[in-house]
């Protein structure tokens, strides 16, 4: 008993000198869940300052992990640059709409003029004619007008025909390359038409007369000989002229022009052998000398499509390669992931 009293005296706090009336104690039942919640909340309320900032740090780490890797050359675009890009996009859209409108105006204007000229060939004396009579006699009278133009000024008439055909051929080539009908390159079409107008019509006029002077015979071998001469000498000369003049009209350097000519000379010459020998059997066998260019220009719609496509593909590929080489290559920065 004395030992129990001694242990109790050590465990219980000592009494103060001033005696105070003792208050009765209320013993609550033990609740482990309540105790654990209180302990957790108490511990969280008294955590250090670094522990209080842990949610912000975790959010920053998540943001860093989710952000895409950037290179040294990448620029961070601000709101001003975003607005500038939007303005540039709007301007490009307006310009494309303007170009499409101009192209549509050119096509509609040229088509309307051509159809009007063809149908109103007899406008001076067609009063009282029926629509059937207009359609019946218009082709014949147009052909008569063409023959009169050939007699009056043969070189200019053939120049006009070749200019129209080479413009149409380039337009067909652009459509064949995938461009919409009204999104064609007007400058490119003008270049091709200019080559056809200034060179093909006039040179072809003199070439066919020279060819007749070189082969003034009526034997069976004359037509194959003319076809062979056409597809070797004349084709080589004309293909070279076409590529060189188009290159100068594109303001390319002579070195680029002649390197392109060397690379395309033989492929284009052999490509012509798949088309022209069959067409020229008619050219030199059936068509008179003065009308040969008209027949050849009808076939030229296909051939100019091939020439224009091949020439502009080479030029655009070289421009793309040059622009790619001129762009500075910046090393990419790699992040070390832990």
pTM: 0.63
- Alpha-carbon distance of 246 to 189, in angstroms, equals 11
260's CB contacts (< 8 A; 6+ apart) are 243, 247, 311, 314, 315, 318
Instruction: For residue 163, tell me if it sits in a domain.
Output: yes
Instruction: For residue 193, tell me if it sits in a domain.
Output: yes
In this predicted structure, what is the pLDDT of residue 220? 86
140 lies in the same domain as 160: no
Tens digit of pLDDT for each residue in 242-269? 889 988 998 888 898 888 888 888 988 8
- Alpha-carbon distance of 119 to 51, in angstroms, equals 92
The stretch 34-63 carries a mean pLDDT of 44
Domains in the chain: how many in total? 2
In this predicted structure, what is the pLDDT of residue 92? 65
183 lies in the same domain as 278: yes
In this predicted structure, what is the pLDDT of residue 134? 85
Instruction: For residue 295, tell me if it sits in a domain.
Output: yes
Range of the domain at 157: 153-325
In this predicted structure, what is the pLDDT of residue 292? 92
The stretch 212-220 carries a mean pLDDT of 88
Tens digit of pLDDT for each residue in 87-137? 667 666 666 678 888 888 888 898 899 898 888 888 888 777 888 888 888
CA gyration radius, the chain: 45
Instruction: For residue 51, tell me if it sits in a domain.
Output: no
The answer to whether residue 85 scores a pLDDT higher than 70 is yes
The stretch 43-69 carries a mean pLDDT of 45
Residue at a domain's end among 105, 134, 152: 152
Q: By the 8 A CB rule, do 291 and 283 touch?
A: no
- More confident position, 227 or 169: 227
Report the SS3 class of residue 37: helix
In this predicted structure, what is the pLDDT of residue 156? 94
Instruction: For residue 86, tell me if it sits in a domain.
Output: no
108 lies in the same domain as 194: no
The answer to whether residue 25 scores a pLDDT higher than 80 is no
Model confidence at 312, in pLDDT bands (50, 70, 90)? low
213 lies in the same domain as 138: no
The answer to whether residue 188 scores a pLDDT higher than 50 is yes
Helices (H), 177-291: 186-195, 201-214, 222-229, 235-249, 254-272, 276-285
In this predicted structure, what is the pLDDT of residue 311? 67
Residue at a domain's end among 119, 152, 185: 152
- Alpha-carbon distance of 280 to 207, in angstroms, equals 14
pLDDT, averaged across the chain: 75
């Amino acid at each position: 008993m004395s030992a129990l009293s001694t242990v109790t005296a050590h465990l219980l706090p000592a009494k103060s000198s001033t005696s105070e009336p003792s208050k009765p104690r209320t013993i609550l039942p033990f609740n482990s869940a309540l105790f654990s919640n209180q302990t957790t909340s108490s511990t969280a309320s008294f955590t250090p300052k670094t522990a209080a900032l842990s949610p912000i740090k975790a959010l920053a780490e998540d943001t860093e992990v989710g952000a895409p890797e950037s290179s040294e050359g990448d620029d961070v675009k601000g709101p001003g640059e975003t607005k500038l890009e939007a303005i540039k996009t709007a301007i490009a859209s307006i310009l494309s709409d303007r170009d499409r409108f101009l192209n549509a105006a050119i096509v509609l204007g040229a088509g309307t003029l051509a159809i009007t000229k063809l149908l109103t060939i007899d406008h001076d004396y067609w009063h009282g004619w029926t629509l059937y009579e207009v359609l019946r006699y218009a082709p014949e009278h147009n052909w008569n007008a063409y023959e009169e133009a050939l007699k009056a000024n043969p070189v200019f008439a053939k120049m006009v025909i070749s200019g129209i055909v080479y413009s149409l051929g380039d337009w067909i080539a652009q459509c064949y390359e995938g461009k919409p009908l009204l999104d064609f390159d007007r400058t490119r079409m003008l270049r091709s038409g200019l080559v056809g107008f200034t060179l093909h019509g006039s040179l072809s006029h003199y070439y066919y007369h020279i060819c007749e002077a070189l082969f003034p015979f009526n034997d069976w071998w004359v037509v194959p000989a003319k076809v062979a001469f056409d597809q070797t000498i004349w084709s080589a000369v004309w293909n070279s002229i076409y590529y060189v003049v188009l290159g100068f009209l594109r303001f390319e350097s002579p070195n680029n022009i002649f390197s392109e000519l060397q690379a395309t000379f033989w492929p284009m010459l052999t490509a012509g052998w798949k088309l022209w020998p069959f067409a020229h059997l008619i050219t030199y066998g059936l068509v008179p000398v003065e009308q040969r260019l008209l027949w050849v220009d009808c076939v030229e719609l296909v051939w100019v499509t091939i020439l224009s496509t091949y020439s502009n593909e080479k030029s655009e590929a070289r421009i793309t390669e040059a622009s790619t080489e001129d762009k500075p290559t910046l090393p990419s920065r790699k992040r070390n992931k832990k």
